[in-house]
């Protein structure tokens, strides 16, 4: 945990919604500097309706995107 450092989170369900913890989301009733972990359980992604459990740090999205771009075309060898 890094206290006091706010980050960007994206919705892993639609990968379209991004929440800036520092700014919050006034339309959704999220105050500025609200940690994603403190979002209410009834929070829903405004785009896909996913829960706050779907939110991932953007640093992870960056990682996902990089891995998708750099992934060699070895389709079929992935065990997931």
3-state percent helix, strand, coil for the chain, nearest multiple of 5: 30, 20, 55
Q: Does 39 bind Zn ion (CB under 5 A)?
A: no
Q: Binder to Zn ion among 43, 45, 52, 55 (CB under 5 A)?
A: 45
H helix intervals, 3-73: 58-70
Query: Cα separation of 16 and 1, whole Å?
Result: 25
Q: Which of residues 14-33 bind Zn ion (CB under 5 A)?
A: 14, 17
Count Cβ atoms below 10 Å from residue 33 Cβ, excluding itself: 12
Q: Closest distance between Zn ion and the C-beta of residue 34, in Å? A: 17
Q: Which of residues 51-80 bind Zn ion (CB under 5 A)?
A: none
Q: Does 36 bind Zn ion (CB under 5 A)?
A: no
What residue ranges bind Zn ion (CB under 5 A)? 11, 13-14, 17, 45, 47-48, 50
């Amino acid at each position: 945990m890094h206290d006091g450092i706010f980050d960007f989170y994206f919705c892993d369900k639609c990968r379209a919604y991004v929440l800036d913890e520092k700014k919050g989301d006034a339309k959704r009733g999220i105050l500025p500097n609200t940690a994603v972990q403190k979002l209410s359980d009834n929070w829903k992604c405004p785009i896909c309706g996913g829960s706050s459990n779907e939110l991932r740090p953007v640093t992870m999205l960056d990682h996902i995107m990089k891995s998708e771009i750099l992934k060699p075309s070895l389709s079929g060898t992935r065990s997931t």
